[in-house]
Structure 1
Amino acid sequence: MDPEIAALAGTAGTTVVTLMATNAWESTRDGMVALWRRFQPSRAESIGEELEAGREELLLAREAGDAESEAELTAEWQGRVRRFLLARPEAAEALRGVLDELYPSAPEQPGTERIRLEAHASGQARVYQAGRDQHITER
């Protein structure tokens, strides 16, 4: 198997599961469904349903403190994306585009820079840091 496909599938599966429990969930689902619709239209609807079911499983697992289920779900999506790319290798570039839109800070390409944030607070100080979007509500 092409190592590039394996690496891309690993990144995609991890990213999808990571974003299932975030505010970016709808964009994640829509991006993945659009990808399947473009390259395997007959599977697009079922992929959307599988993503929704996976999200429900993830949220329940996190609520129960079940990290093993999250790891299994990640492996499942990595495998699903890998099989998709093996069947449709021409979809790799489109998948990279989806991932860049969803999770631009994920280091996929050689030479991609990482952001390192460091802060020190003392007393009653508060520190807010974000590598991307940040929403703070204080009362």
Structure 2
Amino acid sequence: MDPMVTAAGTAVVSAMATSAWEQARDAVVALWRRWRPERAEQVGADLEAVRAEVLEARRAGDDEAERALAGAWQSELQRLVREDASMVAEVRRLLEERLVPVLPVEERTRIGKLVMKAEASGHARVFQAGRDQHITGS
């Protein structure tokens, strides 16, 4: 599964537990309206139903249930990407511009750990790490 899709599916579910949920939901539904308009209303209804499950999972401290719900939305987004590879850019935009900004700081950090991007050209080297990194030598 594309890491961007994984992060976006997790962010959709995380956003369900925020006060800005309606903004996030509208952004997700808008994505479907642009690419699969015949499914947009159903996606909106599905999001609302899953939100109730997420809120209950959070109340019960059931991290496993929340991870399963995130997995379901990762799969939904992955289907869009499989149908049209250009959707990766749209999913990235959804994640970065609409979902991550509504998340609390601790959730942003968790989502941010899922996606690392780097580009290098020529003889450049890229070093990435999820935490501390110590590089010695040349």
Mapped to 2, the partners of 1:38 and 1:59 lie a distance apart of: 28
Match of 1:33 in 2: 29
What is the identity percentage for the equivalent residue pairs of Structure 1 and Structure 2? 44
Q: 1:28 is aligned with what amino acid?
A: A
SS at match of 1:103: helix
Per-residue displacement from partner, 1:33-82 (whole Å, max 9, x unpaired)? 00000000001011111111110011112222222211110111111111
Match of 2:55 in 1: 59
State the Cα distance separating 1:109 from its structure 2 match.
4.6
Of 8, 12, 20, the match for 1:12? 8
SS at match of 2:51: helix
Of 100, 105, 122, the match for 1:103? 100
Mapped to 2, the partners of 1:44 and 1:84 lie a distance apart of: 12
TM-score by length of 1: 0.70
Contact 2:12/2:24 (<8 A) preserved: yes
Aligned pair 1:24/2:11, yes or no?
no
Of 46, 52, 63, the match for 1:50? 46
Mapped to 1, the partners of 2:4 and 2:71 lie a distance apart of: 13
Contact 1:39/1:88 (<8 A) preserved: no
Mapped to 2, the partners of 1:35 and 1:109 lie a distance apart of: 23
TM-score by length of 2: 0.70
Contact 2:5/2:91 (<8 A) preserved: no
State the Cα distance separating 1:87 from its structure 2 match.
1.2
State the Cα distance separating 1:19 from its structure 2 match.
1.0
Unaligned runs of 5+ in 2: 102-107, 119-130, 132-138
Work out which structure has the larger RCO, using CA pairs closer than 8 Å and 6 or more positions apart in sequence: 2
Q: 2:10 is aligned with what amino acid?
A: T
